Amino acid sequence: MKKLILPLFLLSITALGQSKLRPEIDQKSAAIESKVIEWRRDFHKYPELGNKEFRTAKIVADHLRALGMEVTENVAVTGVVGVLKGGKPGPMVALRADMDALPVTERNDLPFKSVNTSTYNGQETGVMHACGHDSHVAILMGVAEVLAGMKNQLEGSVKFIFQPAEEGIYEPGVTTFGAKQMVEEGVMEDVDAIFGLHIQSQLETGKIGYRSGPFMAAVDDLNVTITGTQAHGASPWSSVDPIVTSAQAILGLQTILSRSVNITQNPAVVTVGAIHGGIRHNIIPEKVEMIGTIRTFGDEQQALVHKRITEIITNIAESAGAKADVNIRKLYPSTVNQPELTAQAIPSLQAAIGSENVVIMDPITGAEDFSFFQRAKPGFFMMLGAMKKGEDPAKVPSHHTPGFHIEEDGFVLGVKSLSYLVVDYMGKKK
């Protein structure tokens, strides 16, 4: 019994020791708030597309170096990694921000409105931080400065990961994501746990939203070709009609969610987003092509949904005498917050921003490549509110749109929360 009590006692002393750092974090976060807002406005004005974040990466690397960190550049193309060595031994805690913007032309009238344009898929387009990654970079630069200012007291080290291309690179023959490539290049090997946040234009400022377990969906692409036999539209009996077959297949897909998936556990989505076949009112074509997206929240469910899609389309085609080619391409895995790490994180967040402001969210059918980091090591991902208080989330512009807007007064809570998560994790890990 004594043996058990002593380590527990030591543990609580250490945890207490680390949480003693909280007042210093509060004070340092408040002091850096205006700098974080300034950084974000600068990134907002000069946004860069995935794997082209040259200016952003240079500002980040210079900042981390000035804080005395060991800095590696050009990780996964344009990524930057800085390591802050704490004064005492302990775990390596990683924090992540994504740096890329989107091919969207900004419509907001702001003094720091985007001035950049680029070429995307052969088209001239405006570039905009329409997902708010500008705020992620600025917030993490703030955390870096706060924690660097107390590094001698840290019981462990912090790895600052600034990743490129969260939105993905989709070029002919190349589909990749910044986080995936960073993991492949080994950034997570010496990491014990990772934390990250996403700004949320539809969650009130002052709040943080999270979910334990599967939080955001896995995303996979669906590509289908149904091949039949072409014929004159006036004599359908001499065809194998791929249009009628596709119609049956699309209706068949609806039974996956209503009859195959256990909807009491996790939601799922199967959407056919485009269908193309034929050229003229009186020709039954030879082929129909369909593309779609699949959203699932766990490996088992993902495997089941993929299996059912293939079975349904292939067998419906076969029953019509047609041939189906079903291709499913895996993109992002599900963003899964490890339950133990999540349980550990909540009290830190409650202490940072008040218990009433830490809210459980519904699963999100959007995706995040943070999931690749979480596949390598335990990770916790959360949403930071940036919607003006009192506004209707259904009415504010959503992410990826030209009117996307975020309030800046929640940024400081992001700095504080990530800093609390780091020192509290170190305290508990000892």
Catalytic residues: 332, 408
The residues, any chain, with a CB within 8 Å of residue 131's CB and separated by 6 or more, are 101, 102, 166, 167, 399, 400, 404
The residues, any chain, with a CB within 8 Å of residue 286's CB and separated by 6 or more, are 227, 228, 229, 230, 242
What whole-number distance in Å separates Cα of residue 339 and Cα of residue 320?
47
300 is in an annotated binding site: no
Q: Would you say 219 or 290 has its CB closer to Zn ion?
A: 219
- Considering only the stretches 52-60, 112-120, 129-137, 272-280, report the one whose residues sit in contact with Zn ion under the rule CB under 5 A: 129-137
**Coil/strand/helix, residue 430:** coil
Phi, psi of 158 (to 5 degrees): -125, 130
DSSP 338: -
What whole-number distance in Å separates Cα of residue 313 and Cα of residue 325?
9
Binding of Zn ion by 249 (CB under 5 A): no
Q: Which among 80, 94, 92 has a CA at the least distance from the CA of 162?
A: 80
Determine the residue with CB nearest Zn ion.
Answer: 131
Q: How far is the CB of 400 from Zn ion (least distance, A)?
A: 6
Phi, psi of 90 (to 5 degrees): 165, -170
Which positions from 59 to 98 touch Zn ion by CB under 5 A, shown as an x/- string? ----------------------------------------
Size of the site for Zn ion (CB under 5 A): 1
Could you say which residues in the range 381-420 bind Zn ion, by CB under 5 A?
Answer: none
Q: In degrees, to the nearest 5, what angle opens at C-alpha 353 toward C-alphas 350 and 354?
A: 55
Q: Would you say how long the chain is, in residues? A: 430
167 is in an annotated binding site: yes
- Considering only the stretches 126-134, 187-195, 216-224, 411-419, report the one whose residues sit in contact with Zn ion under the rule CB under 5 A: 126-134
Which residue type occupies 27?
Q
Binding of Zn ion by 131 (CB under 5 A): yes
> Left if phi > 0, otherwise alpha if psi is -120 to 50, otherwise beta: which for 241?
beta
63 is in an annotated binding site: no
Q: How far is the CB of 367 from Zn ion (least distance, A)?
A: 9
Q: How far is the CB of 419 from Zn ion (least distance, A)?
A: 22
E-state strands within 228-286: 231-232, 269-277, 283-284
232 is in an annotated binding site: no
**Coil/strand/helix, residue 187:** coil
Q: How far is the CB of 172 from Zn ion (least distance, A)?
A: 22
Q: Would you say 248 or 365 has its CB closer to Zn ion?
A: 365
Binding of Zn ion by 25 (CB under 5 A): no
Q: How far is the CB of 133 from Zn ion (least distance, A)?
A: 6
Q: Is the dihedral of CA 35, 40, 43, 45 positive or negative?
A: negative
Q: Would you say 131 or 294 has its CB closer to Zn ion?
A: 131
- Considering only the stretches 127-135, 168-176, 300-308, 330-338, report the one whose residues sit in contact with Zn ion under the rule CB under 5 A: 127-135
Which positions from 265 to 304 touch Zn ion by CB under 5 A, shown as an x/- string? ----------------------------------------
400 is in an annotated binding site: yes
Point out which residues bind Zn ion (CB under 5 A).
Answer: 131
Residues belonging to the binding site are 131, 133, 167, 198, 400
